[in-house]
């Protein structure tokens, strides 16, 4: 089932995005403590290793692999290009390079076979002094792109959960 926005105006849309961002933050608070604990030993190591591999790339598969991720990125960057709130940040950007890097980043983050070859988020955003509002606009464009492509809300939330920790590396740099 896809998550659809009912947009009655910019205020309603901002509230919807703020709700998604808040839900993401809460999920991170609940999930991160569990990441610090060691997994329980499993008597059947081969089966456990296979389950780990399957789980590791589950989101990559859910999104349709490189092809699905490419569709999301293309729709997302088209929205960013047309978003007057943030498109000025990308005026001097090589859009083909940006596209390839975002595909690599999403692919790697979701457990796919790609390796991100770009600069660190701090380095890439250094001197831009991006605000929380700029980051929220970027996230809103990503959510809207995924909604347009009917990416299931659960998959959207997983991707946002993987990308959200980058916010401190982007905002205020």
Name every residue whose Cβ is closer than 8 Å to that of residue 25 and which is 6 or more positions away in sequence.
164
Name every residue whose Cβ is closer than 8 Å to that of residue 120 and which is 6 or more positions away in sequence.
169
Q: Which residue has the higher pLDDT, 48 or 169?
A: 169
Query: Token pair for residue 87?
Result: 């498109």
What local confidence, expressed as pLDDT, does residue 19 receive?
Answer: 53
- The whole-angstrom separation of Cα 30 and Cα 20 is 15
**Domains, in order of start, for the chain:** 10-35+64-170 (1.10.490.10)
In this model, does residue 48 exceed pLDDT 70?
no
**Which alpha helices (H) appear in the chain, and where do they start and end?**
10-35, 45-56, 58-62, 65-81, 95-109, 121-125, 132-148, 153-163, 167-170
Could you tell me what percent of the chain has a pLDDT over 90?
61
In this model, does residue 8 exceed pLDDT 60?
no
Tokens 């293309």 correspond to 74
pTM: 0.70
Q: Any idea what DSSP says for residue 88?
A: G
Q: 139, 31, 120: which is closest to 79 by C-alpha?
A: 139
pLDDT, tens digit, for every residue of 106-153? Answer: 999 999 999 999 999 999 898 888 999 999 999 999 999 999 999 999
Tokens 């701090």 correspond to 122
């Amino acid at each position: 089932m896809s998550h659809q926005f009912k947009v009655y105006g910019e205020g309603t849309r901002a509230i919807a995005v703020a709700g998604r961002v808040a839900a993401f933050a809460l999920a991170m608070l609940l999930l991160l403590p569990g990441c610090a604990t060691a997994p329980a030993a499993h008597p059947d190591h081969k089966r456990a290793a296979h389950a780990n591999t399957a789980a590791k790339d589950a989101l990559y598969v859910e999104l349709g692999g490189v092809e699905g991720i490419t569709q999301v990125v293309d729709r997302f960057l088209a929205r960013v290009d047309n978003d007057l709130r943030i498109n000025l940040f990308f005026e001097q950007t090589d859009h083909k390079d940006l596209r390839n890097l975002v595909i690599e980043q999403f692919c790697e983050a979701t457990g796919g076979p790609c390796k991100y070859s770009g600069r660190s988020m701090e380095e890439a955003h250094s001197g831009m002094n991006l605000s929380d509002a700029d980051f929220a606009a970027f996230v809103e464009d990503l959510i809207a792109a995924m909604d347009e492509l009917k990416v299931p809300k659960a998959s959207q939330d997983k991707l946002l959960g993987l990308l959200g920790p980058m916010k401190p590396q982007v905002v205020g740099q």
